[in-house]
């Protein structure tokens, strides 16, 4: 397996946000975390990325313990995050934002980055058109493309995605999910947190259901998509699409975690 969490517990002060979470992601998979607000989904991603300390338990990536490593060292191992809220650098151009994605790499001069830029621009032609435009002036959909593209610039084996469809119109959500499927086909493993649970389950191979910081169920994504209890709990309004109107920058509090703010 590529990623393994075993009995991971995480606290915010005296509040226990993760209560013994265990999960696995195999290389080449798309796995999604399903759960309501406050379930611990965003905290799980932040913990994997090294942005939240582990109280107990272990996180392993490629059979190597990564609990306690600095986030930039985790990035160097091939594990990157596209954060909730996108976290683009507003005063920097699209090109500069993308170059920042390669900051932790040893070779990051423009000639070395050319193949990575070509990949990102192939996936997101709109970014190529906007390469000299400031990140803060992009639309919400373009900023989401930039956040994902920036993560890919680190040449990751695995990308963590936190709410990639938040605030986007239905057409853009479909486009983003089509691109995520293509990124996976190109060989990148994905772990996805997504408010549109139905869309996420259609994309994913497997899924874990989190409730108040615990994994209460895991199964093939298709099985959960057809499960009546899952439908009633998580898929009620988004079985067909379930996304907001317009291409705005609406940014909620993730899964209700005490520090679920954007992470640049």
User: Tokens in use for 205?
Assistant: 């191979």
Q: Where are the beta strands (DSSP E) in the chain?
A: 3-12, 15-25, 30-34, 56-61, 64-65, 79-82, 158-162, 189-193, 206-211, 214-220
Q: What is the pLDDT of residue 169?
A: 86
d(CA 188, CA 211): 28
Q: What is the pLDDT of residue 242?
A: 41
Q: Does residue 126 have a pLDDT over 80?
A: yes
| Average pLDDT score, the chain | 88
pLDDT band at residue 240 under the 50/70/90 scheme: very low
Q: Does residue 120 have a pLDDT over 70?
A: yes
Give the pTM. Answer: 0.86
Q: What is the pLDDT of residue 260?
A: 39
For each of the domains in the chain, give its residue range(s) and CATH number, in order of start. Answer: 3-235 (3.40.50.300)
Name which of 31, 63, 65 is nearest 48 in CA terms: 65
Q: What is the pLDDT of residue 108?
A: 58
Residues paired with 24 in a beta bridge: 4
């Amino acid at each position: 397996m590529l990623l393994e969490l075993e009995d991971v517990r995480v606290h915010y002060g005296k509040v226990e946000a993760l209560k013994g979470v265990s999960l696995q992601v195999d290389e080449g998979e798309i796995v999604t975390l399903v759960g309501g607000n406050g379930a611990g989904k965003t905290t799980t991603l932040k913990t994997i990325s090294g942005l939240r300390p582990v109280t107990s338990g272990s996180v392993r990536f490629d059979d190597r313990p990564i609990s306690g490593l600095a986030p930039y060292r985790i990035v160097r191992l091939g594990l990157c995050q596209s954060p909730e809220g996108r976290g683009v650098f507003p005063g920097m151009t699209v090109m500069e934002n993308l170059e920042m994605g390669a900051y932790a790499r040893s070779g990051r001069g423009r000639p070395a980055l050319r193949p990575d830029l070509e990949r990102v621009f192939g996936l997101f032609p709109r970014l190529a058109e906007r390469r000299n435009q400031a990140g803060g002036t992009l639309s919400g959909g373009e900023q989401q493309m930039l956040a994902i593209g920036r993560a890919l610039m680190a040449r990751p084996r695995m990308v963590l995605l936190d709410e990639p469809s938040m605030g986007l119109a239905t057409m853009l959500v479909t486009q983003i999910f089509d691109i995520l499927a293509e990124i996976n086909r190109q060989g990148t493993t994905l772990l996805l947190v997504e408010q549109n649970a139905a869309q996420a389950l259609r994309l994913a191979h497997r899924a874990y259901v989190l409730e108040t910081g615990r994994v209460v169920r895991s199964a093939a994504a298709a099985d959960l998509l057809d499960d009546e209890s899952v439908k009633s709990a998580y898929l009620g309004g988004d079985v067909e699409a379930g996304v907001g109107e317009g291409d705005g920058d609406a940014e909620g509090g993730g899964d209700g975690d005490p520090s679920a703010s954007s992470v640049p």
